[in-house]
Amino acid sequence: MKNKKGSVLVFSLFLMMISLIIGVSMMSTSVTARRSTLSSSKSVYSFQMANDGIEFAFFTIKEKKASLGLLNGKDIGVIFSGCGGSGEIIEPYPPSGSYNVTFYDNTSSQLSCSDKIEEVTIIKSIGTYRDVSRAVESTIDLSDPSI
């Protein structure tokens, strides 16, 4: 009878150890899933910012075309007031992001703000959100009357 008294204690410790292992593994799985979700969320926000940059460029071109008529002969810097010297438009996007729009010609050479708008055939936008970047690139035909 005396040998059986300690067996309940050992059995209880064994059950507690199993419960602890299950709890720790569930917590670990939950933390990993949360990190994955946050990473995906940052990627989606970055892509949305890059897409916003492309939409901004198309909207600005269409708006200027409507107000100025033909854009031929106009500098990129005249069409895009926020154009930096290297031909980039960098827009902060609160709370922790931005997009960077650049223009390229038909040889994939980057254009500057002093280049003519009719040389633009490719618009590239890089969206950044909390150190995660995604890029979107689009072609454009400025001779298309729907633009």
Amino acid code (one letter) for 53: G
Boundaries of every domain in the chain:
2-139
Q: Give residue 2's pLDDT.
A: 57
- The pLDDT of 88-105, averaged and rounded, is 85
How is residue 68 written in tokens?
């100025």
- The pLDDT of 49-57, averaged and rounded, is 92
Do residues 122 and 103 lie in contact, with contact meaning Cβ atoms separated by under 8 Å?
Answer: yes
Strands, sheet with 97-104, edge to edge from the N-terminal-most edge strand: 88-93, 97-104, 122-129, 132-139
Does the pTM of the predicted model rise above 0.75?
no
Q: How confident is the model at residue 3 (pLDDT cuts 50, 70, 90)?
A: low
More confident residue, 59 or 69: 59
Which of 135, 113, 117 lies closest to 125 in space, CA to CA? 135
88, containing H or E segment: strand 88-93
Q: How confident is the model at residue 105 (pLDDT cuts 50, 70, 90)?
A: very high
Residue 139, pLDDT > 60, answer yes
